[in-house]
Amino acid sequence: MQKKKLIIFPFNGNGIEAFDCINFDEYDFIGYIDDDPTKKSMEYDIFPKVILDKYPELFVLAVPGSSLSYMERAQAIHSLNIPNLRYINLIHPSASVGKNVKIGYNCLIMAGAVITSNAVLNNHIIILPNSVIHHDVVINNYTLIGSNVVVAGGTTIGNNCYIGSGTSIINGITIGDFSLVGLGSNLVKSIPENSKVAGNPARSLAFANN
């Protein structure tokens, strides 16, 4: 079987870690896409976005975003201007994905992650290493889950959220769209869209700074 040619966008921390998730029996890794001319690599080729127009056979994993730029993830991904069929998923071989889990497209699931029965990951999701997503959790588009996060069963996480590493989220709550949960938080109640919370128990950062 001919290997699919894969390129990763952008050349950032998520992209570098995604390299470890590639199945090289399935994919021929070409390099990275990044329009920042200051980015250099001794190991990998870095191309501008125009390579996607020149080579329509390239498949793409797009993993922009951090705690500082999670709000712009959708815009960054859409800037590639490619059809959804060109996006792929990468799942590290040490990750565990349970029965009846539904995963959309352009999702990255890193080493040691556990996703249990009936969980739903929509599109453009990143799960960093060793996080546990329990039964019946729904994670919506463009959301990034940090490392060593535990999301208890029946929780819904909105679009374009960022869940900081080391966070624990109680079962059955809802996290509104465009929300940030800070590192090491313990979230014990639902929060509305555009929230920024942190702490144990997590509370509004705006309130904490007053």
Instruction: Please identify every residue annotated as catalytic.
Output: 135
CA–CA separation, 135 and 21 (whole Å): 24
Sheet arrangement for strand 126-127: 90-91, 108-109, 126-127, 144-145, 162-163, 180-181, 196-199, 202-204
Q: Which residues of 87-104 are buried (b: 16+ CB within 10 A; e: fewer)?
A: bbbbbbeebebeeebebb
The CA-based dihedral angle spanning residues 178, 129, 36, 51, taken in that order and rounded to the nearest 10 degrees: -100
Sheet arrangement for strand 156-157: 102-103, 120-121, 138-139, 156-157, 174-175
Contact predicate 157/140, CB 8 Å: yes
